[in-house]
A and B are shown apart, each in its own frame.
Chain A
Amino acid sequence: MNALRRYLDKIKPNVEKGGKFHFLKSTFEGFETFLFVPNTVTSTGSHIRDAFDMKRGMIMVVLALVPALLFGMWNTGYQHFLALGVEAGFWEMFWFGFLKVFPIIVVSYVTGLGIEFVFAQIRGHEINEGFLVSGMLIPLVMPVDVPLWMVALATAFAVIIGKEVFGGTGMNILNPALTARAFLFFAYPTKMSGDRIWVAGLEKGMETVDGYSGATILGQAAQNNEVFVNGIGEKYTAWDMFLGTIPGSIGETSTLAILIGGLFLIYVGVGSWRIMLSVFAGGAAMGLLLNAFGGNALMDMPFWQHLIVGGFAFGAVYMATDPVTATQTQRGKWIYGFLIGVLAILIRVFNPGYPEGMMLAILLMNVFAPLIDHYILEANIRKRLKRAKVQA
């Protein structure tokens, strides 16, 4: 560590004002603060500072994503070998999934961080850590066979149009990871929806067992199937859906892994439990309402089942809680989360074009979050004004 410190101190004068590489100052700073705690102190006024800065907050979210990521890698292999009809061991499945998922992660980080660095240099800003989380979320919401150039394009779109045009990390209206997914969803629908994309190798015409179908549970429900089966015709149990041994985007299938991550986020105080809870409550409420009417497979699906299939849990825990795009007021968080849950199920059930509604529900509520906050602040101001008048 000391050698590293000495090396950094040696090259530091080059990037200071007047140095040869001054234009790389924010890059240098980015790496320096990544490796060492910055030694800048506040010089005027009294401040109370928490050691919990953005870097630590972001790293906590990345850590919380690890269970979903590891499970996703294993599940990629599991689904693949199931379709092939080949017996494979645990490590074999995991290794297959790792080789599939790792390149997507690398592409997402390299593209996104590259753009962030360029913008930081141009604007003379510090490099923000916001992309550390987005860069991990993007691969987890992609289907496993997505072409890498599409990942790069979507990441670039999300970072530039979703974030940098608004002024960078903390100024964005929409969740960048979901912007990336929505971009691909509308730009290349054949690669982002359907029955053939969720299991690695299916699209390339891999030799599968007879009668294999790669349809997700929601895909089957949209076809009005009452009973959900896996690729080789075995019935899915609720336990399968909860554990996540079902086809889907890389990181979204296992509700268990997501819950572990969610509890971790609540424990370290990064994710808002209010939002998570109210998203589930909203989804359950809408599900119950639809159950009361019934009519087709999606409406008849038990309300609790809605919460453990598709991207619902993933969106609720990692996407809806994004501190930048969510509401800021405590009461606003309840409304925001509840409406996400309601809308997600609503889109899922009533719009046959979109078998999964979580992405669109969160993006829509991202847009409405500032409005919710505005009215809650206004209401509070009115309430306090009234109280002041009564006393006077």
Chain B
Amino acid sequence: MSEREPLFSAKNLKLIREPLGPSNPITVQVLGICSALAITVQLKPAIVMTLSVMAVMTVSSVVISLLRKMIPPRIRIIVQLVVIASMVILVDEVLQAFAYEVSKQLSVFVGLIITNCIIMGRLEAFALANKPWPSFMDALGNAFGYGLILIIVSFFRELLGSGTLMGYQVVPNSFYEFGYANNGLMVLPPMALIVVGVIIWVQRSKNKDLVEQN
């Protein structure tokens, strides 16, 4: 066996850094779009969603990575789903116990973490073929990348759509007296798609490597 790799080697750190930028799960791989549209109306549910996805993803990545040599390839998807689903149920129970209001707001979308393509994608593409620690780093990085976009989108949607941030009013009342009005379109899902689109636009005009050649 070769020399032991340090925990925070350059390779492992790259696993965390890459998903924040050039291989972002939402803006580059275009995965997990549905939840990005559904729960980004306000900042708070978006943050809670990020944490939930992070918890589900890291734990199931490590579990799958530990089991990777025992899982028969033909039923690996089912095994992955079982692990993810049990994690999601745990997260759901925790949310209902300690953050009931947010859990009500997120409603069905907590359960739908099971179908979040990012988690399945990372388990399939990474955890099944790598050791637990790199799998953990990879899951963490992708959850950060996912959360980053969620938080940017929900920041703009809550600020412009409701005039609040984390539920506190930030647009001063004097603005409203001058005739400013909240943008109702920001609260509707199509605007989330447009905001994500604008982020993709900005990202690609900064990083030309991401632009598809055709």
Q: Which residues of A line the B interface, CB within 8 A?
A: 147, 149-150, 161, 165, 183, 186-191
Contacts and interface: CB of A to CB of B under 8 A. Distances in A.
A186 B201 CA distance: 24
Nearest to B179: A147
A165 B198 CA distance: 9
B184 interface: yes
Contacts of B194: 161
A183 B185 contact: yes
Contact of A187 (B179, B185, B197, B201): B185
B183 A188 contact: yes
A165 B197 contact: yes
A189 B184 contact: yes
Q: Summarize A's interface: helix, strand, loop or mixed.
A: helix
Given A147-B179, A149-B179, A191-B181, A186 B197 contact: no
21 contacts: A147-B179, A149-B179, A149-B180, A150-B181, A161-B194, A161-B198, A165-B197, A165-B201, A183-B185, A186-B184, A186-B188, A187-B183, A187-B184, A187-B185, A187-B186, A188-B181, A188-B183, A188-B184, A189-B184, A190-B181, A191-B181
Contacts of A161: 194, 198
A150 B183 CA distance: 10
Q: Nearest 9 A-B pairs (CB), nearest first?
A: A187-B185, A187-B183, A186-B185, A187-B184, A147-B179, A188-B181, A189-B184, A161-B194, A186-B184
A149 B194 CA distance: 21
Nearest to A183: B185
B183 to A, nearest CB: 5
Contacts of B198: 161
Most chain B CB inside 10 Å of its own CB: which residue of A161, A183, A186, A187: A187
A255 B185 CA distance: 31
Contacts of B186: 187
Interface in B179-209: 179-181, 183-186, 188, 194, 197-198, 201
Contacts of B185: 183, 186-187
A142 to B, nearest CB: 15
Contacts of A188: 181, 183-184
B200 to A, nearest CB: 10
A165 B197 CA distance: 10
Contacts of B201: 165
A191 B194 CA distance: 23
A189 B187 CA distance: 13
A181 to B, nearest CB: 12
Nearest to B185: A187
A168 to B, nearest CB: 14
B135 to A, nearest CB: 37
Nearest to B161: A187
A189 B185 CA distance: 9
Nearest to A161: B194
A186 B184 CA distance: 6
A149 B186 CA distance: 17
A124 B136 CA distance: 46
B4 to A, nearest CB: 50
A189 B183 CA distance: 9
A191 B185 CA distance: 13
Contacts of A187: 183-186
Contacts of A165: 197, 201
